Chains A and B, each alone.
Chain A
Amino acid sequence: MTALRPVIVILYILFLLLPIYWLLNMSFKTTNEILGSFSLFPQNFTLENYATIFTDPTWYWGYINSLIYVSLNTVISLAAALPAAYAFSRYRFLGDKHLFFWLLTNRMAPPAVFALPFFQLYSAVELFDTHIAVALAHCLFNIPLAVWILEGFMSSVPRELDETAFVDGYSFPHFFVRIFMPNIGAGIGVAAFFCFMFSWVEMLLAKTLTAVEAKPIAATMTKTASSAGYELGLLAAAGCLTIIPGAFVIYFVRNYIAKGFALGRV
């Protein structure tokens, strides 16, 4: 049984990695090879697909646009969620529990529900096709999530720490930045990670609220597929590049991610 365990683990990992490998495999092939034959390795190895993405502005701007609004969203979400989570964790006020739960219900509706009102609203205030429009739209589900995660981490910091700091002479902002935030660093990291990820993978709102100037990479990928025939190799290369930021971010929070899923209440 113990001898079998590593085998099972390896099989499972292979099973999980198979589609990613296939994507990588395809990204180094020409479209003709992908459509014409079935091979485990690229027969005519090519970097052409990647070269196209890094030289064609319609491609690489997709990445830049996505990174801009995702970063904006992460910053806005955290800036709003930090004080909100502190209030939920430290003060009792009328309806605090209901408000806290209501925040989470925002995540329960599919983004499609909000696509039309956002489109109409942002067009009216001339925010349509800007990075900030997408960043703000994504706050709808990222702020509640960040509040939930941060509240858990904050509640595990004893209130006495706040009191000690105030008695020592720290003003509230000074305390919050110098004492409190370093103590929930893991929570901030995990919250930032989740904001980044959800904003990065969200496509519907990002596509609806942009046209040219702020077009995200996900939109670029689907449009290419329809216009110039099927450039499968190019799409595969774009897909591979899309995975990278997420992998990069997860590397930094890998030690806290389990605690983050438990909302800091471990």
Chain B
Amino acid sequence: MTLEFRSVVKRSKGETLIHAASFTLAPTGFNVLLGATNAGKTTLIKLMAGLDRPTKGEILLNGKDLTRLPPQRRNVSLVHQFFVNYPHLSVFENIASPLRVARVPGADIRRRVHEAAELLRLTPFLERRPSALSGGQQQRTALARAIVKSSDLVLLDEPLANLDYKLREELRDQLPRLFEGRGAIVVYATSEPSEALMLGGHTATVSQGRVTQFGPTATLYRAPQDLETARVFSDPPINVAPIRKSGDRLHLGDSVAWPAAGTALATVPDGAYTVGVKPHFVLPGGDAAGTVPVTGRIQITELSGSESIAHFDLDGRSWVSQSHGIHPYQVGDLHTFHIEIRGCLYFRPDGTRVTA
């Protein structure tokens, strides 16, 4: 089973929400749509569900054109970021509703609803109204409704964003197992890079209405094809700075330089490029082989559990360093960080990445 977008364009009120998106989704693992708020993830999901029509382009399921089909005739399931259930129906009827509409026989409905409820640990609450449930249980009800019908396409639009931390982790662990072996194409929209990495599968990075890259999640993370993808897929944000190649040296600003040999820029002509360094390749530790020292004034420090994050100023740009352990940064101090050269990604002026 495949879901194919062929140069799908969506315009609304003079604004282009989606710029010619083309990709093919498969039922192996999750398909993550990763992007900031308002990047176009929800628009893509609505196009897949049939709640919105593309302005141009085609959407095909197994090669069959469903661009003009309404959601009722698409066999899709959808879970929203907000816990959306039918408030006037019991949890049982909420889960059963897609089956009732499809006129599935009663005994069958009972069996399938109980199965889904068991999977999502909702069995004790089947007679309650959704409003009598906690947020996590409400969202599990919505998920149960999404799995109870055998959809071709399951769309999860930031389903965990409104849950608190503990519930989110718990449900995220369950999610891949829930959909395993169902043969459905699962699309999962999120704004958190870490969530995409945890879910694995494939990822499409979305930025300002463009799908910048689609491929296996790990590949996108390690070897993004362009700067925008690297930006979307980095949290804390990736450090970006102009870099100049002259001869066999790469110059970052006036004072920092390292050899071009062994990097992706070894064989390209001299000129202006852009370097992108993920924060965990900018370390506070001492000198080591394959690192370049940079010194900057510390502006902001953050501690997140066992990680230290420091924002420092380098040639008028704000850089971020993320490292394990707790480092006693003092705001206002000059501190020398080391950039790991193997962690540098190089981009041409047009944003595409230079690969060796």
Contact = CB atoms under 8 A, between A and B. Distances in A.
Interface of A: 158, 160-161, 163-171, 174, 179, 182-183, 185
B87 to A, nearest CB: 6
Contacts of B155: 167
B97 interface: yes
B101 A167 contact: no
A185 B88 CA distance: 10
Contacts of B85: 164
A71 B56 CA distance: 50
Given A166-B70, A166-B72, A174 B84 contact: no
A212 B72 CA distance: 53
Contacts of B101: 168-170, 174
Contacts of A168: 97-98, 101, 145, 149
Contact of A160 (B71, B84, B88, B149): B84
B51 A166 contact: yes
B80 interface: yes
B44 to A, nearest CB: 14
B72 A171 contact: yes
Contacts of B71: 163, 166-167
Interface residues of B, number: 25
Contacts of B86: 161, 164-165, 179, 183
A183 B88 CA distance: 7
A170 B71 CA distance: 9
A182 B51 contact: no
Nearest to B76: A167
B84 A164 contact: yes
Which of A158, A161, A166, A170 is the most central at the interface, judged by chain B CB atoms within 10 Å of its CB? Answer: A166
Interface string B76-120: 111010101111100000000110011000000000000000000
B102 A163 contact: no
Contacts of A179: 86, 88
A183 B87 contact: yes
B102 A169 contact: yes
Nearest to B79: A164
B49 interface: yes
B82 A160 contact: yes
A158 B82 contact: yes
A183 B131 CA distance: 13
B140 to A, nearest CB: 15
Contacts of A170: 72, 97, 101
Nearest to A92: B13
A168 B102 CA distance: 9
Given A168-B149, A169-B102, A170-B72, 19 more contacts: A158-B82, A160-B80, A160-B82, A160-B84, A161-B86, A164-B78, A164-B80, A164-B85, A165-B86, A166-B70, A167-B49, A167-B50, A167-B51, A167-B155, A168-B145, A171-B72, A179-B86, A179-B88, A183-B88
Nearest to B13: A92
A183 B130 CA distance: 13
Contacts of A174: 101
A229 B155 CA distance: 77
A161 B84 contact: yes
Contact of A163 (B49, B87, B149): B49
A168 B155 CA distance: 12
Contacts of B142: 164
10 contacts: A163-B80, A163-B84, A164-B84, A164-B85, A166-B70, A167-B76, A167-B155, A169-B98, A174-B101, A179-B88
A42 to B, nearest CB: 50
